[in-house]
């Protein structure tokens, strides 16, 4: 049964998997359909638009949001864990079809690196057409938020991602104006995860397959070399890493302010997302060693090694 709740300013609907495609060892692409998605939309480009997916819990049943009102989230948290399912954050990689045949395309990462897995990765590994889950997504004409890519008038772009943020960078690259200039550094688990992406000619795309190297090592080195910083990777102790690190020009998870100082990279806008420890290390290097103002950079922890990203 498709459940949609028009009293809410967002889409909160049960959707069905209509297509599954294994893009590579790490990426599984799913197309999610529901007549409720006819109302999907944002004002402008989607870029890195985030959505929530609610995967079925241990009972195997999809939680019902029938009759949900603005207290839907707290009401959902009141449901017993095995019935409630698991909410996780993903990116709209693409939108295909239209009207009641609108489908959201989502690329989900399978966690192969260190054997750690979670409900999202597990669900993706077994996804089949006909599977059902719940999506929380923007409704056309209503404010939803969740787009962090805001380059303003920057002349030079720097996009930095591990595999969990490759879908976002891929979508951003496709939607950039033809004259955009800059570099995207994309670290993925293995060489076979290198995907064909559409990008403006002025955007260099550099893939960095780990192929067994430590998480973030190549990404960090490539980014700091690109910016001309000293190569040493700053030590970041575990207890200094906020699993939900989120430092953008408009929001700071650590409560920092923005100063408008001129910096040596004043024409740059950088968008950096991935594992929170890697993102924190890059942040230290860029902000401390290069003096880049945080008003020019979005640093976003998309996941944290060893931590389940409960919503």
Nearest CB to ligand FAD, comparing residues 125 and 290: 125
Q: What is the DSSP letter of 139?
A: B
Tell me how far apart the alpha carbons of residues 171 and 241 are, in angstroms, rounded to a whole number: 28
In the chain, how long is the greatest CA-to-CA distance? 57
The answer to whether 120 contacts ligand FAD (rule: CB under 6 A) is yes
Binding mask 146-165 for ligand FAD (x = CB under 6 A): -----------------xx-
Tell me how far apart the alpha carbons of residues 292 and 170 are, in angstroms, rounded to a whole number: 25
> How far is C-alpha 310 from the chain's CA centre?
15
For 311, residues 6+ apart whose C-beta sits below 8 A from its C-beta are 52, 87, 88, 89
Nearest CB to ligand FAD, comparing residues 159 and 227: 159
242-301 positions binding ligand FAD, by CB under 6 A:
none
Distances (CA, A) of 74 to 78, 299, 311: 6, 28, 11
27-46 positions binding ligand FAD, by CB under 6 A:
none
Tell me how far apart the alpha carbons of residues 130 and 217 are, in angstroms, rounded to a whole number: 39
β-pair partners for 40: 139
What is the rounded end-to-end Cα distance, in angstroms, of the chain? 25
Residue indicated by tokens 């966690």 = 111
- Please state, as a whole number, how many other Cβ atoms lie within 10 Å of the Cβ of residue 96: 13
Among 4, 24, 102, 121, binds ligand FAD (CB under 6 A): 121
Nearest CB to ligand FAD, comparing residues 36 and 106: 106
Minimum CB separation of residue 89 from ligand FAD in Å reads 4
Nearest CB to ligand FAD, comparing residues 65 and 303: 303
- Please state, as a whole number, how many other Cβ atoms lie within 10 Å of the Cβ of residue 147: 19
Number of chain positions touching ligand FAD (CB under 6 A) = 28
Residue number of the CB closest to ligand FAD reads: 118
Minimum CB separation of residue 92 from ligand FAD in Å reads 8
For 207, residues 6+ apart whose C-beta sits below 8 A from its C-beta are 186, 188, 194
The answer to whether 113 contacts ligand FAD (rule: CB under 6 A) is yes
Distances (CA, A) of 4 to 9, 182, 213, 259: 11, 41, 45, 44
Single out the segment in contact with ligand FAD by CB under 6 A; choices: 17-25, 109-117, 149-157, 202-210: 109-117
Among 47, 65, 90, 144, binds ligand FAD (CB under 6 A): 90
Nearest CB to ligand FAD, comparing residues 117 and 253: 117
The answer to whether 308 contacts ligand FAD (rule: CB under 6 A) is yes
Binding mask 48-87 for ligand FAD (x = CB under 6 A): --x-----------------------------------x-
294, 297, 298, 302 alpha-carbon torsion, rounded to 10°? -110
Single out the segment in contact with ligand FAD by CB under 6 A; choices: 203-211, 250-258, 286-294, 303-311: 303-311
Among 24, 34, 91, 296, binds ligand FAD (CB under 6 A): 91
Note whether 296 and 286 are within 8 A (CB): no
The answer to whether 117 contacts ligand FAD (rule: CB under 6 A) is yes
* Binding stretches for ligand FAD (CB under 6 A): 50, 86, 88-91, 107-109, 111, 113, 116-121, 163-164, 167, 302-309
């Amino acid at each position: 049964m498709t459940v949609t709740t028009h009293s809410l300013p967002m889409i909160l609907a049960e959707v069905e998997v209509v297509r599954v495609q294994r893009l590579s060892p790490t990426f599984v692409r799913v197309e999610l359909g529901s007549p409720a998605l006819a109302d999907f939309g944002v004002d402008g480009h989607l870029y890195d638009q985030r959505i929530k997916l609610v995967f079925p819990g241990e009972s195997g049943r999809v939680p019902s949001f029938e009759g949900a009102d603005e207290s839907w989230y707290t009401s959902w948290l009141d449901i017993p864990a095995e019935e409630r399912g698991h909410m996780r954050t993903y990116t709209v990689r693409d939108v295909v079809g239209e009207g009641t045949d609108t489908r959201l395309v989502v690329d989900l990462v399978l966690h192969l690196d260190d054997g750690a897995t979670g409900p999202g990765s597990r669900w993706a590994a077994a996804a089949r057409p006909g599977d059902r889950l719940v999506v929380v997504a923007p409704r056309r004409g209503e404010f939803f938020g969740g787009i962090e890519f805001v380059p303003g008038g920057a002349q030079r772009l720097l996009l930095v991602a591990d595999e969990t943020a490759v879908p976002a960078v891929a979508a951003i690259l496709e939607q950039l104006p033809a004259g955009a200039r800059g570099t995207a550094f994309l670290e993925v688990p293995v060489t076979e995860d290198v995907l064909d992406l559409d990008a403006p000619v002025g955007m260099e795309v550099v893939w960095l397959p780990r192929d067994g190297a430590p998480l973030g090592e190549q990404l960090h080195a490539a980014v700091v070399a690109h910016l001309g910083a000293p190569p040493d990777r700053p030590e970041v102790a575990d207890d200094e890493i906020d699993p939900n690190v989120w430092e953008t020009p408009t929001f700071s998870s650590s409560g920092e302010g923005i100063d408008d100082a001129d910096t040596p990279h004043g024409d740059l806008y950088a968008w950096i997302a991935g594992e929170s420890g890697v993102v924190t290390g890059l942040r230290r290097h860029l902000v401390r060693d290069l003096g880049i103002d945080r008003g020019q950079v979005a640093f976003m922890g998309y996941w944290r090694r060893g931590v389940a990203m409960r919503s």
